[in-house]
Amino acid sequence: MATTLETFQSLFNGNTKNKSYRTDSGKVHTIDWNVDGSRLASGSLDKSVVIFAYDGKGSMVKDRTYREHGEEINQLAWHPSVSHYVATASGDRLVKIFDTRTDRSSTTIETKGENINLAWSPDGTTLAVGNKDDLITFIDVKTSRIIREEQFRYEVNEISWDRTGSLFAVTTGHGSVVFFDAPGIQKEKDKPLEELHCLTAHTGNCICLEFDTTGKYFAVGAADASASIWDVAQLVCLTVLTRIEWAVRGLSFGCQSQLLALASEDPYIEIAKVDTGERVYALKCDAQTLAVAWHPKASILAYVQDDDSGSVRLFGVLD
pLDDT in tens, 2-56: 688 988 888 888 778 899 999 988 899 999 999 999 999 999 999 999 999 999 9
What pLDDT score was predicted for residue 158?
97
What pLDDT score was predicted for residue 319?
66
What pLDDT score was predicted for residue 14?
75
Alpha-carbon distance of 205 to 80, in angstroms, equals: 28
Q: Which tens digits make up the pLDDT trace of 241-265?
A: 999 999 999 999 999 999 999 999 9
Query: Could you give the percent of the chain with pLDDT greater than 70?
Result: 99
3 state SS of 185: helix
What pLDDT score was predicted for residue 1?
61
**Between residues 309 and 76, the one the model is more confident about:** 76
Q: Which tens digits make up the pLDDT trace of 121-148?
A: 999 999 999 999 999 999 999 999 999 9
What pLDDT score was predicted for residue 187?
83
pLDDT over threshold 80, residue 285: yes
256-291 burial, b if ≥16 CB within 10 A, otherwise e? ebebbbbbbbbbbbbbbbbeebeebbbbebeebbbb
CA-nearest of 138, 237, 144 to 188 is 138
Q: Which domains does the chain have, with CATH numbers?
A: 4-315 (2.130.10.10)
What pLDDT score was predicted for residue 308?
85
- Burial of 124 per CB tally in 10 Å (0-12, 13-18, 19+): middle
What lies within 8 Å, CB to CB, of 6 at 6+ separation is none
pLDDT, the chain, mean: 95
For the chain, the 3-state helix, strand and coil shares in percent, each to the nearest 5, are 5, 55, 40
What pLDDT score was predicted for residue 230?
97
